[in-house]
Amino acid sequence: MTAITHHVPDALLANYAAGNLPYAFSLVVAAHISLCTECRAQLEAHHVVGGLMLENASKEDLSADLKNNVLAQLDDAVAPQEHYRRSGIYPGPVMEALKGKPPRWKSLGLGVRQSILSADHDSSLRLLYIPAGTAVPDHSHNGLELTLVLQGSFSDDTGRFGVGDLEVADQHLEHTPTADPGDACICLAATDSPLRFRSIVPRLLQPLFRI
């Protein structure tokens, strides 16, 4: 894997460390961290700072009811959780979202495919398969979009993004991501609102494709 040059912004990493990110964004950040030693070290630094803040925080007495409720929950049987490892190009967090199974691809046309991992009114998480040389329709954003490259690479006005690189796009960015020559580009993408497409055809198909 080539060197990762596009990392998680520090503010986003701090929110991840504090557990304040929505599921879709949290999973993309977790997948990037699993590939990036630099961001992994930065995350550990945030954990250290958070621990020091807790140690220095003023102490409050807990009510007897709260103590009893916590102890009762500890006594409850806890279902074992599966821990997934990297499989091929997919990091452990992505395999967890896939529940250990291969992606279920659905065509978006022109060879582009997607596999929706999670979607609700507030956010979406999906894998995108973009053939080499193919461009995603020109679009901007109503909110935040995180895109992590898992295979191949893509380029837009902001630069080139290879395996492990994370692009952070917001309302100020309008772009036409294009898969570079070579392997098809496979990305993990999370959004917290629908994209804004310029062309009429993508806008008409947007509700069907849930983008």
Please tell me the total count of domains within the chain.
1
Give residue 115's domain range. 101-209
In a domain, 131, yes or no: yes
pLDDT at 55 over 90: no
Q: What are the pLDDT digits (tens) for 175-207?
A: 999 999 999 999 999 999 887 787 887 777 667
CA of residue 126 relative to chain centroid, distance = 9
In a domain, 7, yes or no: no
Q: What is the CATH number of the domain that holds 194?
A: 2.60.120.10
pLDDT level of residue 20 (50, 70, 90 thresholds) = very high
What pairs with residue 55 in β-bridges?
A: none
Q: How far apart are CA 144 and CA 111, in angstroms?
A: 26
In a domain, 58, yes or no: no
In sequence order, what DSSP letters do the residues of 7-64 get, joined into one string?
---HHHHHHHHTT-S-HHHHHHHHHHHHH-HHHHHHHHHHHHHHHHHHHHSPP-PPPH
Lowest mean pLDDT among 40-54, 56-70, 177-191: 56-70
